[in-house]
Amino acid sequence: MDEKRIQEVLQIEKQAQAIYEAALREAEQLPVLASQESQSLIEKTRVEAEAEAHRLVANAEAKEECARILADAEEKSNRMKGLAMSHMERAVGYVLDRVAGRD
């Protein structure tokens, strides 16, 4: 082989070695980068899950509050109906007594 060919082979080997070393450095960084990305994704997912949980709790509390208010309103309505019926009976008795001439 002539000197020119030997220099080309040496240059190609040098480039191959540089590519190999760069690939090794990149391969060494991949686990670190993967770990960082997974931690980032875990944190992002945790934050989103907490926000969703807060939203669900708020909705549940609002529904519970609405149900409680409705139950209270129905209870008051039933009490008022009962009072109205008792007052109606007294009012009818009063009117009948007045018509009959009893005071």
pLDDT at 90 over 90: no
For the record, the structure tokens of 91 come out as 């009012």
- How high is the pLDDT of residue 13? 93
Number of separate domains in the chain: 1
In a domain, 102, yes or no: no
Residue 27 is assigned to a structural domain of this protein: yes
Please report whether residue 31 resides in a domain.
yes
Q: Is residue 66 part of a domain?
A: yes
Q: Please check whether residue 82 lies inside any domain of the structure.
A: no
Write down the pLDDT at residue 47: 92
Structure pTM?
0.47
- Report the C-alpha gap between 50 and 44 in whole angstroms: 10
DSSP assignment of 31-97 equals: HHHHHHHHHHHHHHHHHHHHHHHHHHHHHHHHHHHHHHHHHHHHHHHHHHHHHHHHHHHHHHHHHHH
Nearest 5 degrees, angle CA 76-CA 81-CA 86? 125
Domain hosting residue 61, numbered range? 1-75
User: Residue 102: is its pLDDT beyond 80?
Assistant: no
Residue 98 is assigned to a structural domain of this protein: no
99 falls within a domain: no
Q: What is the pLDDT of residues 2-55, one digit of tens each?
A: 888 889 999 999 999 999 999 889 888 888 888 898 899 899 999 999 999 988
Quick check: 75 pLDDT over 80? Answer: yes
Separation between Cα atoms, residue 75 and residue 72, nearest integer Å: 5
